[in-house]
């Protein structure tokens, strides 16, 4: 189904914008330099077509004959390739020369001229017509029998003449060697490359047409087509092989059956193999607005037809610190609550998460549903995360930020990949969040002694989803402080926050507060910690002014009023409520309130101390 929907997306994009995706037999390839030739095959120049990107120059994408798939085998591309295929200069020779230049530069730092050295090494590296890869490149051009095309004739004449070696005298030659990019050919005065000429394009289309309808049945398109034994590479999956990987691959006997080899084990036609991989590479391309990173999963999304959800979905999970939560949620809410027509709401929407796995690409998650269903679930996702926070904090919590708050040192590399995939699937399907999320958040809070805004929001969402999905009798966790919540874990979290605040005011700048020393034990085994904290509490409030002392005592008394005993152990869910109670109470304590009337110096009664169990 994944391949079929990607194929349908390709067809949809080609129909709406033919230039957005390459036609079959072609591919958008980065070209760095163009060898310009005269009609009779003489060298007219070496043109640098790179574009500035950041602090370096990168090749520009051009529509060229599709690249071949090669590992160690010698397989040339048609009329374009790297330096070794086009001119016979191995990459290793260039790198060896560059290392020598760096070495000489270090030894003769004051007198060494780097630019002069590069010109010298460039002039010494001349094309090698005896290189096997270069020979294969020439043979590939000849095999297409395109000698009737003036451009192809010019290329063959150039590659078989002494003019080939003259390229080493071109001004741009040193830069071409240093770039190590792809080269192609162009006739002087033409606007298109030789490999883009009409005769070359028609020859490629004719060759493709010859392979259709040979008796194999394509499982993606549902009609006869020639079998794709090896599928084109998929590039752009973070952490994957630079040369790309495959979703469909059979490169070992263990993966094969019935004596079939490679693609024969999954009869995907050549045309469908091209369309689904081209569509996926388009979605995964750098700068794509239809991809995001979820843990180690490069996630792409698309719809079966035009819909505003394609933009809204990306914004909902964008890891952008400048993103405004009200704008993002407003767009999703409008989709969910009124602006969706019946037709748009019924459009199918797809989300695919891909993770690297050696030479292959594994599917981390796959979700399909209607736009209306997705809008409702995203609205619920935002609703569950709503929680009070400091004014200076951005209320928008991207999924990446939430996941980093479950990882050691807040690093993306330390995110639990399986948990991230399960969480994304739960968001899209509207089901409870995985228990691994609760484990991870509680673990990081205990390790860091920090209940941050993202962690509190994730705990609230986890607990409320469990309550809603399983219809439990647990109290709903609110956005802000809930004085009526009687859960022991929540109340103890509130009590811990008040006791910490009393210590902070009594001993400003203390090296280690009660949170640093006792949070982990207090949130898991309250009976072992709270008696100690309550014993020290009178000493702390005794140092405060009478009015402040009275207010804190009243607060402690209201919190402990319904606590019959300190529990021996809090289960993991209640440890989450402890963290939320602590977070809510801390936020409330630091929220500016209206001035309360003076207590007149009257001290309140001592707080009720629960029975120790």
Taking the C-alpha atoms of residue 271 and residue 279, their distance in angstroms, rounded to an integer, is: 12
Give the model's confidence band at 113: pLDDT under 50 very low, under 70 low, under 90 confident, else very high: low
Categorize the per-residue pLDDT at 563 as very low, low, confident or very high, splitting at 50, 70 and 90. confident
Q: What is the structure's pLDDT at 360?
A: 82
Question: What pLDDT digit, counting tens, does each position of 290-346 carry?
Answer: 999 998 999 999 999 988 888 888 888 877 655 655 656 665 666 556 566 778 889
Q: How many CB atoms lie within 10 A of CB 27?
A: 20
Look-up of token digits 């994408």? 61
Q: Is the pLDDT of residue 608 over 70?
A: no
- Binning pLDDT at 50, 70 and 90, where does residue 605 land? very low
Residue spans of beta strands (DSSP E) within 524-612: 565-566, 611-612
Confidence grade of residue 530 (pLDDT, cut at 50, 70, 90): very high
Indicate whether 486 pLDDT > 50: yes
Mean per-residue pLDDT for 96-104? 78
Give me 532's structure tokens: 């100690």
Contacts 24+ apart (CB under 8 A), 421-427: 421/294, 421/295, 421/297, 421/353, 421/355, 421/364, 421/365, 422/365, 423/294, 423/399, 424/294, 424/297, 424/299, 424/351, 424/353, 424/365, 424/399, 425/365, 425/367, 426/465, 427/377, 427/378, 427/381, 427/399
In this structure, are residues 173 and 165 in contact, taking their beta carbons and an 8 Å threshold?
no
Pair 402, 452: CB distance under 8 Å:
no
- Intra-chain end-to-end CA distance of the chain, in Å: 58
Instruction: Read off the pLDDT of residues 19-38 as tens digits, 9 standing for 90 and up.
Output: 889 999 999 999 999 999 99
- 76-80, 320-324, 395-399: which has the minimum mean pLDDT? 320-324
- What value does the mean pLDDT take over residues 156-170? 88
> What pLDDT is attached to residue 153?
96
Dihedrals phi, psi of 422, to nearest 5 degrees: -65, -40
Two tokens, residue 49:
């077509």
Look at residue 41 in the predicted model and tell me its pLDDT: 93
Burial class (CB in 10 A: 0-12, 13-18, 19+), 321: exposed
pLDDT of residue 131: 93
Type and span of the H or E element at 300: strand 297-303
pLDDT at 510: 81
Give the range among 117-121, 411-415, 456-460, 463-467 with minimum mean pLDDT. Answer: 117-121
Identify the CA nearest to 304 among candidates 27, 16, 24, 22: 16
Cα angle 296, 301, 302; round to 5: 165
Asked if pLDDT for residue 137 goes beyond 80, the answer is yes
Banded model confidence at residue 158, pLDDT cuts 50, 70, 90 = very high
| Token pair of 233 as six digits | 């590479």
- Residue pair 233/243 in contact (Cβ under 8 Å)? The answer is yes
Residue 148 tokens, joined: 């009737």
For residue range 546-555, what is the model confidence (pLDDT) as tens digits? 999 999 999 9
Q: Residue 219: pLDDT above 70? A: yes
Residue 230 or 154, more confident: 154
Distance of alpha carbon 574 from alpha carbon 582, whole angstroms: 12
Residues 424-439: tens digit of each pLDDT: 999 999 999 999 999 9
Domain locations along the chain: 32-205, 291-470, 488-612
Q: Global pTM?
A: 0.84
Neighbours of 459 (CB within 10 A): 26
What pLDDT does 588 receive? 94
Contacts of 598 (CB under 8 A, 6+ apart): 547
- Beta carbons of 235 and 244 less than 8 angstroms apart: yes
């Amino acid at each position: 189904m994944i391949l079929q929907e990607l194929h349908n997306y390709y067809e949809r994009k080609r129909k709406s914008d033919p230039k957005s995706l390459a036609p079959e037999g072609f591919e958008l390839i980065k070209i760095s330099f163009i060898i310009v030739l005269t009609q009779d095959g003489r060298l007219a120049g070496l043109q640098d077509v790179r574009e500035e990107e950041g602090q370096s120059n990168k090749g520009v994408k051009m529509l060229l004959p599709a690249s071949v798939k090669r590992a160690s085998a010698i397989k040339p591309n048609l009329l374009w390739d790297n330096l070794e295929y086009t001119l016979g200069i191995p990459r290793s020779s260039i790198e060896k020369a560059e290392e020598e230049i760096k070495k000489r530069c270090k030894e003769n730092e004051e007198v060494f001229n780097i630019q002069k050295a590069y010109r010298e090494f460039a002039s010494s590296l001349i094309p090698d017509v005896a290189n096997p890869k270069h020979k294969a490149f020439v043979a590939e051009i000849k095999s297409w029998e395109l000698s009737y095309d003036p451009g192809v004739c010019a290329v063959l004449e150039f590659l078989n003449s002494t003019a080939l070696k003259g390229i080493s005298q071109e001004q741009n030659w040193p830069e071409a060697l240093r770039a190590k990019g792809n080269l192609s050919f162009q006739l002087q005065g033409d606007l298109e490359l030789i490999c883009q000429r009409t005769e070359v394009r028609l020859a490629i289309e004719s060759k493709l047409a010859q392979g259709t309808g040979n008796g194999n049945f394509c499982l993606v398109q549902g009609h006869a087509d020639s079998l794709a034994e090896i599928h084109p590479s998929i590039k752009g999956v973070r952490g994957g092989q630079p040369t790309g990987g495959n979703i469909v691959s059979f490169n070992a006997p263990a993966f094969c059956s019935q004596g079939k080899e490679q693609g024969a084990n999954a009869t995907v036609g050549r045309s469908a193999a091209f369309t689904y991989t081209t569509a996926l590479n388009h979605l995964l391309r750098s700068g794509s607005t239809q991809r995001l990173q979820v843990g180690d999963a490069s996630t792409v999304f698309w719809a079966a037809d035009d819909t505003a959800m394609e933009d809204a979905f990306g914004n909902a999970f964008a890891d952008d610190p400048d993103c405004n939560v009200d704008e993002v949620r407003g767009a999703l809410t409008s989709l969910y609550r009124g602006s969706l027509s019946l037709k748009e709401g019924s459009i199918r929407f797809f989300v695919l998460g891909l993770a690297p796995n050696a030479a292959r690409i594994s599917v981390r998650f796959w979700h399909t549903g209607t736009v209306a269903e997705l809008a409702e679930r995203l609205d619920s996702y935002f609703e569950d995360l709503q929680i009070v926070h400091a004014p200076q904090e951005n209320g928008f919590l991207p999924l990446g930020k939430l996941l980093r708050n479950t990882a050691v040192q807040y690093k993306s590399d330390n995110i639990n990949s399986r948990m991230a995939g399960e969480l994304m699937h739960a968001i899209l399907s509207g089901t409870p969040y995985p228990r691994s999320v609760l484990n991870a958040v509680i673990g990081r809070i205990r390790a860091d002694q920090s209940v941050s805004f993202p962690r509190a929001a994730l705990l609230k969402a986890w607990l409320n989803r469990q309550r809603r999905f399983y219809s439990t009798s647990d109290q709903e966790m609110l956005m802000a402080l809930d004085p009526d919540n009687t859960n022991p874990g929540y109340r103890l979290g509130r009590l811990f926050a008040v006791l910490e605040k009393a210590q902070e005011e009594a001993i400003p700048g203390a090296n280690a507060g009660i949170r640093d020393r006792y949070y982990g034990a207090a949130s898991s085994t309250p009976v072992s910690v709270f008696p100690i904290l309550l014993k020290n509490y009178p000493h702390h409030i005794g140092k405060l002014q009478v009015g402040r002392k009275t207010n804190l005592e009243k607060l402690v008394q209201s919190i402990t009023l319904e606590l019959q005993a300190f529990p021996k152990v809090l289960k993991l869910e209640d440890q989450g409520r402890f963290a939320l109670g602590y977070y809510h109470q801390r936020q409330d304590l630091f929220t500016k309130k209206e001035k309360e009337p003076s207590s007149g110096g009257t001290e309140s009664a001592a707080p009720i101390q629960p029975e120790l169990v």
